[in-house]
Structures are given as structure tokens and as C-alpha cells.
Structure 1
Amino acid sequence: MTAATDNPPAAARMPAGQLRGILLMLTSGVSNQVGAATAALGFPALGPAGVVAIRQAVAAAVMLAVVRPPFRTFTRRQWLPILALAAIYATMNLTLYTAVDRIGLGLAVTLEFLGPLAVALATSRRRVDLVCALIAGAAVFVLMRPQPSTDYLGILFGLIAACCWAAYILLNRTLANRLPSAQGAAAAAAVSAVAYLPVGCWILIHHTPAPKYLAYAAAAGLLASAVPYLLDMLTLRLVPTTFFGLFMSINPLLAALAGWLLLDQRLGLLEWAAITAVITANATSALTPRRPQPTTA
């Protein structure tokens, strides 16, 4: 009782900080998925590769302006994971957008979300996590069930994007130990943008797309990369990383809604059930208390 009355301001500030964090995470998720839907609007003229090229350039410009990594001081030990992360950026965005172009935004993001879910479950030995893995696997089976209209290549691209997201998480852990702040991520974004520069130039020269398609791709760079990146940095100062990871599970739902509202991509009941199953698996795994690890003297 005494401790509660001695420090009322701290107790009062906590709910407000959590509420701000939730609003920031929701804004980040909506921005990310609206950005992905906006990118899809540029596919008819630019294709997924052209949209990714412009998106990477815009995202790199914003991240470099905010972070300003000191490229000249990087060591070989720091450059290796930066180059690996740049390759992951390039592959993840291209495979995701190709999947979006073929199977729709909601299903593509649901498949991609299996990457971080797999990372979370891979190191666990709890029975509840095994059940969550089985639920997610059943959801993938529903999405991949054989039908005359099943686009297996689109599903494959979505699963490759999932593998890239898992590698992205692991590489970011390595970079966090070798570079301060977000210097590694900003440097990797710049390298990825340079790698896509020939693709962007070739498309602009040979296709001369209308300005609105270039605007779609540029907006995707802001909404799907720069804005979520900045908001996530602010969010992680307000909420625990576990809660942040749990809230990420809303992204497949937001993607399905964005695809429905902005792209008129409608899903059937089984697809909605599969998306719900993946979200439930992640939420269950994150919310179930973990046993404390034994300590030694």
C-alpha cells in the first residue's frame, strides 16, 4: 500500500504509455498493409520488380536521412551481415510482391507471417507451442489445398518470403550485437537500393510508366517501409518486445482487409479461417506463460 501511494505518477504513466504504444503499433500495421496494397496498384505498369526498385530507393533515402550510418568506419565483421541483410531485403520484398500479384495480399502476408512464427516456435520445447505449430501447419494446408484455381507458384513465393522474414529476424539479432541503433538496417537498405538501381532504370527507360504508377511505388516505400520503421522504433520504447511481437500477428488480418477494401480481393470462408488460425497460433504461443528457467548457484 505504501509503495503504491509513494509513487503515483509512475503508476499513472504506465497505462498512458501502453495506450500510445498500442496506437503506434496499430498505425504501423495499417500503414504497412495499405502500403502493400498501394504497391499492388503499380504492378500493371511496373511489375513487382519495378515497384520493389522504387520502394527500396525511397525507403533507403528516408532511413539514411534518419539514421546516417558511418559507412567508412564499418569493419569486415560488420559488413558481412549488412550485405546478407541487403540480400534478404531484396529477395523478401520481391517474393512477397510477386506472391501478392498472384494470390492476393491477405494470403501472401499470411504465408509470409509464418517466418517469424517459425522462429518463435523453433526454439521452444513446450507442448502448447507444438500445438500452435500444428495449427499453423493446418492453416497452410488449407491455403495450399489442391484446386483448379490454386496458384502453387504464388504460394511458393509467399513461403520464400516467410523464410526471408525468418532470416531477417536472425540477422537483425546479429547486427544488434555488432552495430549500435539501426545503422545496420539503414546500411542494408542502401545496399539493396543500389542493387535494384539497374532494374529501376531499365523499367523507366523501356516502359515509361505513367506518373501515377511511380507515385504508387514511391508511396509504398513510405507507407510499407519508412513509416513502420520509424513508428516501430518509438513503439519499442513504450511496450515490451514480447507484446510487440504478439501484436504483429494482426498483420495478416490487416492485409486481408486492405486487399478487400483497396484491391477488391475477396476471400472465402476457408481462407478467412486459415488467417484466423495463424493469428490464433501466434497469440496463444505468446500469451501462454513460460516456466522460469532453473538457476544455478
Structure 2
Amino acid sequence: MAQAGPASERPVGGPGGFPAAVRVLGAVPPPALVLLGIVSVQVGAALAKQLFALAGASGTVALRLGFAAVVLVLVWRPSVRIGGRMLLTVIGYGVVLGSMNLLFYQAIERIPLGAAVTIEFLGPLAVAVIGSRRWVDGLWALLAAGGVVLLTRSDGGLVWTGVLFALLAGVCWGSYILVAASLGSQSADGRGLALAMVFAALVVLPFGVDDLSAALLDPLVLLAGLGVALLSTVVPHSLELEALRRIPPRVFGILMSLEPAMAALVGLVVLGEALKPPQWVAVCLVVLASAGATRTARPV
């Protein structure tokens, strides 16, 4: 998962954006770009889940981040000559990004996509409200917590190991937002992101190497892995960068709050993962909490 959460103030990699070739997106309304990015990420996750039978969850993560790293390096051609502070930030970003995706894929291997994304969304939501002493922010936190409790207790048969992996992925997502802000302040374009993606791929490679030993010989698996990388990383990143040039970060955050609901819908349509009515209510509670926390957040 490589998305900005409700507390994110800038896209990963800084405000410079992708090369001029993607600026044809300028004619598309910013909200549509954000929604297309959300759809792209969740369809990519659904495609990844279908790969698990052939490449395993860890192998699929390795394919996704490996292909994403190759694409971003070819696009940006980053220099390896960077300062010590930047190097530490790039490594930290790569470790957090790799861990987040590895944990998330372990989660969706065990529980429905919509449930996993909803639980994981607690990470960025916590970043949005942590440290606040205003009662309204506490209300949003309680609303989200109630939604997750309802999600896991509503006779949905959720495997607790999957819930735990999703919670840990949420912790990484919250950390990712903080590290991404630091990377964005030090890199004016996508070169830092490209280097960080290389480190992320190296982080997950030891976990996926056994699954990949046979999968790498299957051209269809490789093609699907490239598709996951494009749908889950390259395409949404491009769309979000373009959207953030033209809308305030707070509006962007509110739109991103729709992600759990979109994940549940994509899981239903693409994977046939039907949530029970109480679980849909739980998803809506988390979406409402995220949108509310973003809407009422104090400007930084």
C-alpha cells in the first residue's frame, strides 16, 4: 500500500511531480484524479491477491516493489551520490514502505480486502488526531475505533492473524506518512522516491525469494507482477501528484478517506468478497471518522 493518509500534507517524493509526459492529466479535474488513484490502488491489490496462489503473498510483494523500483529508476535516473541525512531518510522510507506492503499483503491473504484496508486506515487516522487535546478529535478517534470493533465482532469470521497484520500495516502507514514528509522536504522530485523504492524492494526480497524461484519462470506471473506495480504504485502516484498541485492537502485528505469504502467495493466486484451489513456500517464509520478528522484538523 503506497498512499497518503488523512494527515499527509504532501505527496511522497516532493512537489516536483513526474516528468512532463504525465502533465496531460492537467485537463482532468483534481477530485477525479484522486478517485482514479484510489481505484487503481485497490484494483492493483485485488490483482495481487489473485497472484498469491502462484507467487505467494511475500513473492507478490517482491514482484510489485521490484518492478516499481525498476520503473521509477528508469524514469528518474537518480544519482547515488546523496548526503548522509538524505541517505538515512531514503533508507528509513524504504524500510517502512517495504514493511507496510509486506504486512498488508499478509493481511489480505487472510481477510477480505475491504476489512484489511479499513483496519489499516487506523494508522493514518492516528497521525491525524494524535497529540490533539480537542474533544472533536477524540470523537473521531472513538468513532473509528468503534467501526473497527464492529468490523471484527460482526460475525464476519475474520481471522485474527489477518487483523493483527492489518493493524501492524497501519502502524507502518502512520510512520510512512511522517517519513514521506521528511523525504518530500529533502527531494524536489521523484529521485528520492526511486532510491527509496530500491531499498523497499531489498527489504522484502528475502521474504519472497522462495516463492519467486518458480514464479520467475512464468511470463504470465511476471506480466501480472508488472501490472500490480503499475496499478499500485506508479499510476496512483502520478495521479496524486498532479491532483495535489491543484487542490489543498485537506481536500485531498478528505477524498482519500474514501479508500476503505472503495477497497470494500473492489473486493466485492473483483474478488467476490461480500461483507456483511454490519461490516459495511463499520467501513462507513471509519470513512466518516477519517473525513471528519481531516476536515476539522488545524492547519499546520
What TM-score comes out, normalization by structure 1 length? 0.86
Partner of 1:14: none
2:99 touches 2:204 (CA, 8 Å); kept in 1? no
Partner of 2:61: 52
The structural deviation recorded for 1:155 is: 0.2
Partner of 1:26: 35
CA separation in 2, counterparts of 1:289 and 1:161? Answer: 24
Partner of 2:51: 42
Partner of 1:257: 265
2:123 to 115, 125, 129: 115
2:99 touches 2:203 (CA, 8 Å); kept in 1? no
CA separation in 2, counterparts of 1:30 and 1:267? Answer: 18
Q: Secondary structure at the match of 2:157?
A: coil
Give the percent of matched residue pairs that are identical in Structure 1 and Structure 2.
Answer: 39
Q: What's the RMSD between the two structures over aligned residues?
A: 2.2
Q: Secondary structure at the match of 1:125?
A: coil
* Residue 279 (structure 2) pairs with residue 271 (structure 1): yes
Corresponding letter in the other structure for 2:54? A
Q: Report the number of matched residues.
A: 275
Deviations 1:236-259 (A, max 9, x none): 111111111111111111111111
CA separation in 2, counterparts of 1:215 and 1:192? Answer: 20
CA distance 1:147–1:273, shift in 2 (3 Å)? closer
The structural deviation recorded for 1:216 is: 2.6
2:211 to 203, 210, 218: 203
The structural deviation recorded for 1:123 is: 3.4
Q: Secondary structure at the match of 2:110?
A: helix
CA separation in 1, counterparts of 2:194 and 2:224? Answer: 22
CA separation in 2, counterparts of 1:86 and 1:39? Answer: 20
CA separation in 2, counterparts of 1:257 and 1:239? Answer: 26
Q: Secondary structure at the match of 2:189?
A: coil
CA separation in 1, counterparts of 2:27 and 2:158? Answer: 42
* Residue 174 (structure 2) pairs with residue 163 (structure 1): no
CA separation in 1, counterparts of 2:242 and 2:55? Answer: 33
* Residue 92 (structure 2) pairs with residue 84 (structure 1): yes
Corresponding letter in the other structure for 2:244? L
Partner of 1:12: none
> What runs of 5+ residues in structure 1 fail to find an aligned partner?
1-16
* Residue 229 (structure 2) pairs with residue 227 (structure 1): no
> What runs of 5+ residues in structure 2 fail to find an aligned partner?
1-25
Corresponding letter in the other structure for 1:96? F
Larger gyration radius, structure 1 or structure 2: 1
Query: Structure 1 or 2: larger helix share?
Result: 1
CA separation in 2, counterparts of 1:137 and 1:209? Answer: 44
The structural deviation recorded for 1:233 is: 1.1
Q: Aligned runs of 1:151-190 on 2, under 5 Å?
A: 151-190=159-198
Task: Identify which range, 126-135 or 173-182, moves more after superposition.
Answer: 173-182
Q: Secondary structure at the match of 1:265?
A: coil
2:135 to 122, 127, 130: 127
Deviations 1:81-105 (A, max 9, x none): 2111111111111111111110111
Q: Secondary structure at the match of 2:246?
A: coil
Corresponding letter in the other structure for 2:45? A
